Amino acid sequence: MTATLTIARKYFFSSRVKGVVHVISGVTALGIMVSTAALVIILSVFNGFEQLVVSLYNSFDPDVKIIPVGNKYLPVDSQLVVEIGKVQGVSGVSPVLEENILAKYANKQTFARIKGLHPHFLHSIGMDSAVFVGEMKVNQGNNPYALIGMGVAGKLGVNIYDDFSQLQLYVPKADKKVIINPRRAFNQESIRPSGIFSIQREFDDKFLLVPLDFAQQLTGRPGQATAIEVNLDNSAHLPTVVDQIARLAPTGTQVLDRYQQHAFLYKILRSEKTVVFLILTFVLIIAAFNLVASLSMLSVEKKKDIAILNALGMSPPAIGRVFLFNGLLLSVGGALVGLALGTLLCWVQERFGVVGLGGTSFVTNSYPVDLRFGDVALVFFTVLAIGLLSSWLPSMRAANQFQPTDLHMR
């Protein structure tokens, strides 16, 4: 093994190899290097976008959510809320009630969605930094207040500092089917706006946050909720906490973690990442054809050396391993340089944001990247496998091309 590796290394660094073989070897190494760097960079960018999406939804959606199965509402069980709050790693828990409404302010109106929750739950969902106008509160004493998404506030022309104007909220009565007077078909409540928040457009254009009891009164659903939301500490282990909450959850409910709440979205992101990985791997395979050509030409050029090695007692399989190791040195060398280059470019992008997304409406100005060790290892072993397969056929041909009469004829 030592002898074959030494000879392979000599061929790899030899300056006596003919120019055309050097050119093909250089093109091969360059192709492997560029493909490897591209794989690392593209996978890191997809990881960055996935992390960005997760962070955006985590700003509003809970880490864990208990929802009813086969029904829209579930009864609010205060004992259950207390038990969930005792689970290690839980930082906040609240029943929530969401419902579509018609909101009216002054002479403007729009459709929106209320989310009723316990006031203390606002801190656990990070609304402290999201409120940029007014105060972060949904109640003061016995008076309810509404936190309004920036998009909803813009449609209604809400003035937080106008103490004389209130929001008028309308919800259809659930128990009324046919009513002659349209006014009687709706539950109506007034509430004063306290602040305007901005998280991302999907939430800003839709939601108003109100106290849970106010939402129950408005919808005519006392003692009911549409879900129980749970937020966790940063150090909490999500699968463990989900299992513990699932044991406490009543029959007829389902416990969803942050990924299951948006399973379709995350499935699309991961599918796109897989497809891009396969496409770039195919490009890497095409680049590896040059490796086959380089080793084939090298075996032809070194035919006399093969005969001498055989005469000295080296077996055909050992001769084949010389060219196999030569191909592996070429592919591994290109892969290591590509990994280093890809890692460096990812670090530069993460640190300085060199490549921008363009425009000013997105939540980030530059392409997000998230370099992960698992992706680096996957890329390296993929390149190693392709290099091994590409080197195997030329090495077998080199081992089998020697004929004993060749040496005597020379």
The pLDDT value recorded for residue 183 is 66
CA proximity to 356, closest of 369, 344, 365 = 365
Beta strand spans in 42-185 (E): 64-68, 74-75, 90-105, 108-117, 131-134, 139-140, 143-149, 167-172
Asked if residue 355 and residue 220 are part of one domain, the reply reads no
Maximal C-alpha separation, the chain: 112
Q: Is the pLDDT reported for residue 311 higher than 90? A: no
What is the token pair recorded at 408? 């005597």
The pLDDT value recorded for residue 220 is 92
CA distance 213 to 380: 56
pTM: 0.76
Asked if residue 72 and residue 53 are part of one domain, the reply reads no
Domain ends where: 257, 288, 303? 257
In the block, tokens 């005469």 appear at: 311
Asked if residue 119 and residue 99 are part of one domain, the reply reads yes
Q: Is the pLDDT reported for residue 374 higher than 90? A: yes
Measure Cα distances from 290 to 21, 32, 381, 395, 396 in Å: 10, 10, 19, 14, 17
pLDDT in tens, 122-149: 888 778 888 999 999 999 888 999 999 9
The pLDDT value recorded for residue 376 is 95
The pLDDT value recorded for residue 187 is 92
CB atoms within 10 A of CB 52: 16
Domain ends where: 203, 231, 257? 257
pLDDT in tens, 249-308: 999 999 999 889 988 888 888 899 999 999 989 988 888 888 887 777 777 676 776 676
Asked if residue 302 and residue 191 are part of one domain, the reply reads no
Q: Is the pLDDT reported for residue 365 higher than 60? A: yes
The pLDDT value recorded for residue 407 is 42
Residue of higher predicted confidence among 308 and 246 = 246
Beta strand spans in 166-219 (E): 167-172, 186-197, 207-211
Q: In the predicted model, what is the mean pLDDT of residues 113-122?
A: 93
Asked if residue 112 and residue 252 are part of one domain, the reply reads yes
Asked if residue 345 and residue 233 are part of one domain, the reply reads no
Quickly state the pLDDT bin for 6 (edges 50, 70, 90).
Answer: low
The pLDDT value recorded for residue 226 is 97
Residue of higher predicted confidence among 60 and 343 = 343
Quickly state the pLDDT bin for 409 (edges 50, 70, 90).
Answer: very low
**Percent with pLDDT over 90 in the chain:** 52
Asked if residue 231 and residue 93 are part of one domain, the reply reads yes
Asked if residue 269 and residue 243 are part of one domain, the reply reads no
Q: Is the pLDDT reported for residue 399 higher than 70? A: no
Residue of higher predicted confidence among 291 and 58 = 291
Asked if residue 237 and residue 125 are part of one domain, the reply reads yes
Asked if residue 313 and residue 233 are part of one domain, the reply reads no
| Amino acid (1-letter code) at residue 288 | A
> What's the domain range around 227?
64-257
Domain ends where: 233, 257, 281? 257
Structural domains counted in the chain:
2
CA distance 61 to 316: 64
pLDDT in tens, 160-185: 999 889 999 999 887 656 555 666 78
The pLDDT value recorded for residue 111 is 96
Asked if residue 199 and residue 152 are part of one domain, the reply reads yes
Which of 85-89, 129-133, 309-313, 381-385 has the lowest average pLDDT? Answer: 309-313
Asked if residue 105 and residue 169 are part of one domain, the reply reads yes
Which of 58-67, 100-109, 207-216 has the lowest average pLDDT? Answer: 58-67
